[in-house]
Chains A and B, each alone.
Chain A
Amino acid sequence: GENVEQHPSTLSVQEGDSAVIKCTYSDSASNYFPWYKQELGKGPQLIIDIRSNVGEKKDQRIAVTLNKTAKHFSLHITETQPEDSAVYFCAASIEGNEKLTFGTGTRLTIIP
């Protein structure tokens, strides 16, 4: 089955700087890669996703890149703000089956 690895497990960034979180996956059949943000006491919230037919997707301060050959994808957050502090999860699945395999999470702390 699919295995998703995520790094780093913790990340501290000065407010205004950029943060990058990286994930690798094992199943070459995977073609849908969402990113979720989880705040304390809440469920994961989708922040951006990418499909294998594109290499990069951007939404305001958030961008995701995908390298299918190397089987890795990354989340980039620019101009970080205190409200970006949370745990971020990457995930992978085969498009259409909606059964996600999650990474182990990255705890992002924005230092004011």
Chain B
Amino acid sequence: ETGVTQSPTHLIKTRGQQVTLRCSSQSGHNTVSWYQQALGQGPQFIFQYYREEENGRGNFPPRFSGLQFPNYSSELNVNALELDDSALYLCASSLGAGRGSSPLHFGNGTRLTVT
């Protein structure tokens, strides 16, 4: 069973630039969620994708956007990067929203540094 994989592992960007982070979900999982984890904090929900559509969004501005592909992999895009966007971005996959409490399985994250 292949777990959740994320790429790249580390990334350095300049304020104002755009970034794309990638996630491959665990085998058999069709729902992908993205979380932002600032240093010393708990993960915060950004949004979730189910059947290639956004299925819920946390308190993040529209410059955070995403995609889910037919193979259930996903991308997180952040435009107009700000210094406060520096964080660990976590992808989590699960069996399917609405099918009971399917545990979230997290990848090891992408560490984004904005300078």
- Chain A-chain B contacts (Cβ-Cβ < 8 Å), number: 67
Asked if B90 and A43 sit within 8 Å, CB to CB, the answer is yes
Which interface residue of B98, B104, B109 has the most chain A CB atoms within 10 A? B104
Q: Which residues of A contact B98 (CB under 8 A)?
A: 96-97
Task: Assign chain A's interface to a size class.
Answer: 20 to 34
Nearest chain A CB to B21 CB, angstrom units: 13
Asked if B106 and A44 sit within 8 Å, CB to CB, the answer is yes
Interface string of A32-55 (1 = CB under 8 A from B): 101010000111111001010000
Asked if B101 and A43 sit within 8 Å, CB to CB, the answer is no
Nearest chain A CB to B80 CB, angstrom units: 25
Task: Assign chain B's interface to a size class.
Answer: 20 to 34
A6 to B41, CA, bound (A): 11
Q: Is the interface of B mostly helix, strand, loop or mixed?
A: loop
A100 to B42, CA, bound (A): 11
Asked if A99 and B103 sit within 8 Å, CB to CB, the answer is no
Nearest chain A CB to B93 CB, angstrom units: 10
Asked if B97 and A98 sit within 8 Å, CB to CB, the answer is yes
Interface residue A95 (Cβ < 8 Å from any Cβ of B): yes
Interface string of A76-112 (1 = CB under 8 A from B): 0000000000000101010111111111110000000
Binding site for A on B (CB under 8 A): 4, 31, 33, 35, 40-45, 48, 56, 58, 90, 92, 94, 97-109
